[in-house]
Structure 1
Amino acid sequence: MATEEGVVYKMGAPGAGTAWVKTIRSSACESCSSRHACHADGGGKEMEVEAINTADARVGDRIVLNIKTASLLKATFLLYVFPILAMIAGAALGQAVAVIQGTDPSGLSALLGFLFFGLAFMVIRITGRRLSKNASYQPEITKIRGHHSPSADALVLPETES
């Protein structure tokens, strides 16, 4: 499981069982399917994310967020590998069609490769929206580490392990 630490700064919608957490952006954020639900503050290092609140955390609590490794790997594959595979498939299809039609294989291969590459991003966007509603792809508050002083203006979090 990918683990991050943060501070709960507000509760989610009544009955939703969620809480909003401020955390420090890490490399795990890039492949997270819920990254569109996160908002960067200031310089973009501090992040805000809505998480499932299974630990019953309250505003001001220092917490631990978990994201399932399987979900993280699936999202990473979708984001990084799928577009390349789609582009290769489009290029191969263009090559085959060009040979059958007797046209320039390079031009048709490039055209279909880039077309499939663009279509892959449309598929990613649609799939990402669907997966973001799935609880297994959302961060979950699993532990409460303590209470953060609400009088502090700046959020100071310890460095976390990824």
Structure 2
Amino acid sequence: MVEERGVAVAVEPGAIWVETRRQSSCGQCSARAVCGQELLNKLGRTENCNLVRALNSYPVQVGDSVTIAVPEQVIVKGAMLVYLMPLLLMMAALVICEWMQLSEVGVIVGAFTGLLVGFAGVALRSRALQQRGEAQPRVVGLLPRES
């Protein structure tokens, strides 16, 4: 499970909204003195918060610190879906257009069409996963309140 800590900012039936803070790994990196990434982080947005909706079965109240998690396989499947599906469909369309002996412009248009179909497939699949709640983060722990 990939876990992240955050603070509950809103509660709704069966779910909560959690504010998490983006962490920079620059503080632990030995090359931070010669790398421009830390400077870019300082110059960039000062607002480094994310708002995430997480499924919940704990008695959470606004202001509680929680741990949310997503299974690793969901992240791997998501990455495969987003990166591979459009490319594979583009390559398949390219091969089909070449096999049909289309002109060079026809092959380019066919490959581009395959890429667009791949993007549409990613959007449909991610919408279906979201409706089923498979890729939805879940609250896995309620941290004790600070006094």
Shift of 1:74: 1.2
* Count of matched residue positions in the alignment of Structure 1 and Structure 2: 127
For 2:127 and 2:3, the matched residues in 1 are separated by 23
Which residue of structure 1 lines up, in the alignment, with residue 85 of structure 2? Answer: 82
Per-residue Cα deviation, 1:91-119 (whole angstroms, up to 9, x for no partner):
11111011xxxx43x33222111101011
Amino acid at match of 1:67: V
CA shift digits 1:122-143 (9 cap, x unpaired): 1111111111122221000111
Match of 2:30 in 1: none
1:18 aligns with 2:27: no
- Whole-Å Cα distance in 2 between the matches of residues 10 and 116 of structure 1? 41
2:106 to 81, 105, 108: 108
Identity %: 23
SS in 2 for 1:47: strand
Q: Distance in 1 between matches of 2:132 and 2:61?
A: 23
Q: Distance in 2 between matches of 1:7 and 1:83?
A: 36
Counterpart residue number, 1:58:
61
Q: Secondary structure, in 3 states, of the residue corresponding to 2:100? A: helix
Q: Tell me, yes or no, if structure 1 residue 97 matches structure 2 residue 94.
A: no
Deviation per CA, 1:28-50: give whole Å up to 9, x if none.
xxxxxxxxxxxxxx756211111
Structure 1 pair 44/121, CA: closer, same or farther in 2 (3 Å)? Answer: farther
Whether the aligned pair in 2 keeps the contact of 1:51 and 1:138 (CA below 8 Å) is: yes
Asked whether 1:70 is paired with 2:68, we answer: no
CA contact (8 A) 1:94 1:111 kept: no
User: For residues 25 and 84 of structure 1, what CA distance do their matches in structure 2 show?
Assistant: 30
AA aligned opposite 1:143: G
> Are 1:5 and 2:5 an aligned pair?
yes
Q: Give the unaligned 5+ runs of structure 2.
A: 24-44
Q: For residues 131 and 8 of structure 1, do their structure 2 counterparts lie closer, same or farther at Cα, with a shift above 3 Å needed?
A: same
The unaligned stretches of length 5 or more in structure 1 are 27-41, 150-162
* Structural RMSD (CA): 2.2
Q: Distance in 2 between matches of 1:147 and 1:80?
A: 41
